[in-house]
Chains A and B, each alone.
Chain A
């Protein structure tokens, strides 16, 4: 089996898993869900690091890679933090104050 065929299988299974998982998420949390998956998809930082950190990368690679690391890290950091900030606000009714 060729590498790409294997990759396609991985993609197909992950997409199905994604469908199943997301359908279980209550609409209550759809906004945090979107910011979380947004942070997760910033996994492109992996590709950006590989490009930027290479030994004899061309200037073009270095500049594009650097920008991509910056953009992806921005998404990772702000995505996870804002998701947590939102989730912190979701509380059940407090057991009556006073």
Chain B
């Protein structure tokens, strides 16, 4: 008894401090790993503190779950390729959200059994916890399916979709409200659960692959808020704090993603991207482009003083990171300054491109944010675009009718020479024509990113021997 009153609250408090420091130290790569260690210690403190509590007497099931959870979790962490990190993240949002929804469900039925009734506060928190938990679970599984390409990447829309979605959400909220008013009407709970699960599915159906970074971040936020709501149910400050940290983190990241695409939340969630603009692409077919061979490209790169590489997700799809790193090494050795410009939505989740380049051993002090590199773009000899399209489309700045009008872009067009590695002239994922490809200072390098880069590397090697 004594232990519970004095030592255990302190353990929880230490754990909360640990989580806060963990996030704080993540602000720079130099201290980030220390942050992870502190976070791990904090988690151990919280778990030990909970296991020691006097109400916890049955250990066998807990232990079995620990062993099973670790047995699945460890291989996931080590085997998962870095290109699949967005899927893993979506999957773990699903797991986390389901965990809190299940706990909420159990708490509800436990309270019913005990017959003591629920206070209004607990019931409100319980409804929020399970609503967010269940809807985030199915929404994250849908996001996982789209990212893993088990489901169609294209947004699926139908007439009256928003009305249906809002209707289902209103129904879920209504039943939730009824539960808050009269918790003893237990028949409502399964209905509430089903509506929340359904809403999660409906929410993701109209969302396309390009919007995934925003959606993942938003689901991250929901999963955190659900955990925080559980803290209100259990009257546990540690859960409230940890959940609030996660909730605000996901929220900020999704705002950053929205800004990087110049879109609003409502537009991402209800505006199904990639629908209207297919017609404009056809007009571009006839315009002439300049193309070049790997040999030309190697010579241009070799004689440049500064090169900015702008990678997009296409680069990762082609698995070209390691060839890119070889090219980076060769050019750097020959005195060319090579830097990388990373658009916030490059990749499938916030910061994804940085991880992919870091995995290929490209030093992180060569990775630059869009806002830092744009002012210097006019002084760059070469901008080399690999697998990126919309994020370098000047139409976003000049054409008010473009579907991406107003989206901040990396101003590759300002560089003296622009080179674009691209499979063909087919418009990209979003189907938007890109005026950059037809400019006089643009050279199109047609081919697969990986094989084209290895040809460039070969040519650079030949130049080095001359």
Nearest B residue (CB) for A33 = B26
Complex Cα gap A14–B16 (Å):
10
Kindly state whether residue B386 has any CB partner on chain A within 8 Å.
no
Query: Which of the listed residues A17, A89, A90 has the most CB atoms from chain B within 10 Å of its own CB?
Result: A90
A7 touches B235 (CB 8 A): yes
Complex Cα gap A77–B238 (Å):
19
A49 touches B29 (CB 8 A): no
Nearest B residue (CB) for A21 = B23
B96 touches A34 (CB 8 A): no
Q: Given A37-B249, A43-B43, A65-B61, A93–B228 Cβ distance below 8 Å?
A: no
Q: Which residues of A contact B349 (CB under 8 A)?
A: 30-31, 34
Nearest B residue (CB) for A18 = B248
Q: Which residues of A contact B77 (CB under 8 A)?
A: 77-82, 85
Per-position binary interface string of chain B over residues 1-43, scored 1 when its CB falls under 8 Å from any chain A CB and 0 otherwise:
0000000000000010001101110111100110110011001
A64 touches B103 (CB 8 A): yes
Cβ distance A98 to chain B, nearest Cβ, rounded Å: 11
Q: Which residues of A contact B237 (CB under 8 A)?
A: 7, 10
Q: Given A77-B74, A86-B355, A37–B99 Cβ distance below 8 Å?
A: no
Per-position binary interface string of chain A over residues 16-34, scored 1 when its CB falls under 8 Å from any chain B CB and 0 otherwise:
1111011111111111111
A57 touches B58 (CB 8 A): yes
Cβ distance A75 to chain B, nearest Cβ, rounded Å: 5
Interface residues on A, range: 35 or more
Complex Cα gap A92–B121 (Å):
50
B26 touches A32 (CB 8 A): yes
Kindly state whether residue B46 has any CB partner on chain A within 8 Å.
yes
A27 touches B350 (CB 8 A): yes
Complex Cα gap A21–B88 (Å):
24
Complex Cα gap A21–B244 (Å):
12
Q: Given A18-B23, A28-B29, A58–B39 Cβ distance below 8 Å?
A: no
Kindly state whether residue B424 has any CB partner on chain A within 8 Å.
no
Q: Which residues of B contact A7 (CB under 8 A)?
A: 231-232, 235, 237, 240
Nearest B residue (CB) for A55 = B57
Q: Which residues of B contact A23 (CB under 8 A)?
A: 252
Q: Which residues of A contact B249 (CB under 8 A)?
A: 18, 22, 33-34, 37
B22 touches A28 (CB 8 A): no
Kindly state whether residue B256 has any CB partner on chain A within 8 Å.
yes
Q: Which residues of B contact A39 (CB under 8 A)?
A: 39, 43
Kindly state whether residue B47 has any CB partner on chain A within 8 Å.
yes
B88 touches A68 (CB 8 A): no
Complex Cα gap A64–B104 (Å):
9
Q: Which residues of B contact A80 (CB under 8 A)?
A: 36, 39-40, 43, 77
B80 touches A82 (CB 8 A): yes
Kindly state whether residue B344 has any CB partner on chain A within 8 Å.
yes
Q: Which residues of A contact B89 (CB under 8 A)?
A: 31, 34-35, 38
B351 touches A32 (CB 8 A): yes
Q: Which residues of A contact B246 (CB under 8 A)?
A: 18, 37-38, 40-41
Please give the residue numbers on chain A whose beta carbons come within 8 Å of chain B beta carbons, in ascending order: 2-4, 7, 10-11, 14-19, 21-55, 57-58, 60-62, 64-94
Please give the residue numbers on chain B whose beta carbons come within 8 Å of chain A beta carbons, in ascending order: 15, 19-20, 22-24, 26-29, 32-33, 35-36, 39-40, 43, 46-47, 50-51, 53, 55-59, 61-62, 64-66, 68-70, 72-74, 76-78, 80, 82, 85, 88-89, 92-93, 95-96, 98-100, 102-103, 105-107, 109-110, 113, 121, 216-217, 220, 223-224, 227-228, 230-250, 252-253, 256, 342, 344, 349-352, 354-355, 358-359, 361, 363-367, 369
List 15 A-B pairs, Cβ < 8 Å.
A11-B231, A18-B248, A21-B20, A31-B352, A33-B350, A39-B43, A40-B245, A46-B234, A71-B102, A78-B77, A82-B76, A84-B36, A89-B359, A89-B361, A92-B363
